[in-house]
Amino acid sequence: MTELIVAGIIFVFLFFIMFCLGNFVRLFEKKEKYSIGCRIVSGFVFYFFLFEIIAFPVMIARQPLHRLTMIWGSVIAFLVLAACVKFGKSWWEEWKARKLRGYSAGFYLMLFLIGLQCVFAALWTDNSPDAAYYVANVSANVATDTINIYEPFTGAMQETFYTRYLFGLYPVHNSVVCQLTGVHPLVLTKTLMSVAAIVLSYTVWAQVGKKLFDKREQVWMLLSFLSVIQFFFHTIYSNASFLLTRGYEGKALLANVILPFILYLGLCLFENIKNRSAWLLLFATTVAGVDISMSAMSIVPVAASAACLVAIIGKRSWKSLIYYGICMVPSVLILAVYLLTSKGYLTFHI
């Protein structure tokens, strides 16, 4: 029970960290108003963008897990402190200025349906073969204090880093959190992060909804309908299935948080093609997406291209192609390294 309570505290703290990091987005586009939800999702992207940049070289250098844990813990502590110092006053002013307004039945229905999904994910027991990689990877890293050195399936020491998951360090992130907090990998992945995936997903869709609808009531209704659809769009391949039954996998976050967030950024660019924070977030998403799931290596650039190019063509803003090109650079580099590694031209030995 204590461990579940600790997991609950970690859940709240993770969202607070994301909120803090997301506030830095405001520095790049002061004219925009950023809701709490928008800041949380932006912070989520920055969080994994930073993690990939820090964790990948630490892994390749074959450093022990505790070293990465110390580095990551220090970086996050510094950034959270910096956010509190920089934005603390504005948070207090926002809190004082908030309007106390009642919520309708639609709002509570939405909360109930999302809550139902969270309970479902928390109780759902999944033993798919993929869990034997993703979760076992977390356990193996924590048990041996190493980073992707031991094969998750059997525990044998690998000769090279597994190409298929080379940049996909989401399990390593979970290992770091387990080592920092003492929470068991299974509790973190199959309960905490599964529920977090659902909350993040609806936070993103709420932001999209606010762009398409004028009234809050319509957004609550939208999320209620979406909740029902998520329960009944089960096809083992669908994003809904991954969200509810395989939320511990990075793919669930990719399908239900990252990709919808890219579409949201596309909407932001359609409204204002020169929105610097949107371009910056898009750049960060191309890296964060791969950190969360290697499938993002090909899917994220396609989604980003669809969102950006259609907006650029719609706005006839041809100079923005430069920003689009810059956003694609990480994807091209990652894809190049992956292809060179998978074809045997490049090897990362352990």
Partner 1 sequence: MGSVNFAEEGMTFVLSCLKEYGGQTCMLGFFLAGFLYVLLCGSRKERYFFCGITGFLAVTIYNPLLANPVIKFMNMSAEYYRFFWILPMGFLTAWMCVKMAETQKTKGKKAALICLLFVILAAAGNPVISTFADLQVPQNKYKVPDGLLAVCEIIHQDSGDNAFPKSVFEYEYNTYVRQYDGNMRLTLDRDVYLLALGSNTVSTRNLSQEEVDAQRRIIDVIQYQNVSEDPSVLTAALKATQTDYLVISKSSEPVLAYLTAAGCESFADTGSHIIFRGP
DSSP secondary structure code for residue 26 in this structure: G
CA 77 – CA 73 distance, rounded (Å): 6
Question: Based on CB atoms, which residue is closest to partner 1, 83 or 118?
Answer: 118
Residue holding tokens 């070289």?
57
Residue from 58, 79, 223, 280 touching partner 1 (CB under 8 A): that is 223
Which residues from 26-65 bind partner 1, rule CB under 8 A?
none
Are 170 and 189 within 8 A, CB to CB?
Answer: no
Question: Based on CB atoms, which residue is closest to partner 1, 73 or 126?
Answer: 126
Exposure of 107 by Cβ count < 10 A (0-12 exposed, 13-18 middle, 19+ buried)?
middle
- The amino acid occupying position 325 is G
16 alpha carbon, distance to own chain's centre: 14
As measured in angstroms, the least distance from the Cβ of 334 to partner 1 is 13
Residue from 166, 176, 226, 278 touching partner 1 (CB under 8 A): that is 226
Are 25 and 39 within 8 A, CB to CB?
Answer: yes
As measured in angstroms, the least distance from the Cβ of 69 to partner 1 is 15
Q: How far is CA 172 from CA 58, 85, 153, 245, in A?
A: 11, 30, 16, 21
Residue 97 half-sphere exposure, CB side, CA atoms within 13 Å? 6
271 binds partner 1 (CB under 8 A): yes
- Tell me the two tokens of residue 3: 């461990």
As measured in angstroms, the least distance from the Cβ of 88 to partner 1 is 35
Looking at 73-81, 90-98, 221-229, 283-291, which segment touches partner 1 (CB under 8 A)? 221-229
As measured in angstroms, the least distance from the Cβ of 29 to partner 1 is 19
Angle at alpha carbon of residue 292, lines to 341 and 45, rounded to 5°: 125
Question: Based on CB atoms, which residue is closest to partner 1, 79 or 188?
Answer: 188
CA 339 – CA 48 distance, rounded (Å): 23
CA 50 – CA 250 distance, rounded (Å): 16
Question: Based on CB atoms, which residue is closest to partner 1, 54 or 186?
Answer: 186
As measured in angstroms, the least distance from the Cβ of 237 to partner 1 is 5
Largest CA distance in the chain: 62
Beta-bridged to residue 157, according to DSSP, are 150
CA 49 – CA 25 distance, rounded (Å): 14
284 binds partner 1 (CB under 8 A): no
Which residues from 102-161 bind partner 1, rule CB under 8 A?
120, 123-127, 129, 131-133, 135-136, 139-144, 152-156, 159
As measured in angstroms, the least distance from the Cβ of 159 to partner 1 is 8
As measured in angstroms, the least distance from the Cβ of 253 to partner 1 is 11
341 binds partner 1 (CB under 8 A): no
As measured in angstroms, the least distance from the Cβ of 84 to partner 1 is 32
Phi, psi of 347 (to 5 degrees): -135, 135
Which residues from 288-327 bind partner 1, rule CB under 8 A?
295, 298-299, 302-303, 305-307, 309-311, 314
CA 278 – CA 327 distance, rounded (Å): 11
CA 6 – CA 333 distance, rounded (Å): 39
Please give the size of the binding site for partner 1, defined by CB under 8 A: 82
Question: Based on CB atoms, which residue is closest to partner 1, 185 or 330?
Answer: 185
As measured in angstroms, the least distance from the Cβ of 125 to partner 1 is 5
233 binds partner 1 (CB under 8 A): yes
Question: Based on CB atoms, which residue is closest to partner 1, 108 or 225?
Answer: 225
8 binds partner 1 (CB under 8 A): no
Question: Based on CB atoms, which residue is closest to partner 1, 230 or 277?
Answer: 230
25 binds partner 1 (CB under 8 A): no
Question: Taking CB under 8 A as the rule, which mask of x and - marks residues 247-266 in contact with partner 1?
Answer: ----x--xx---xx--x--x
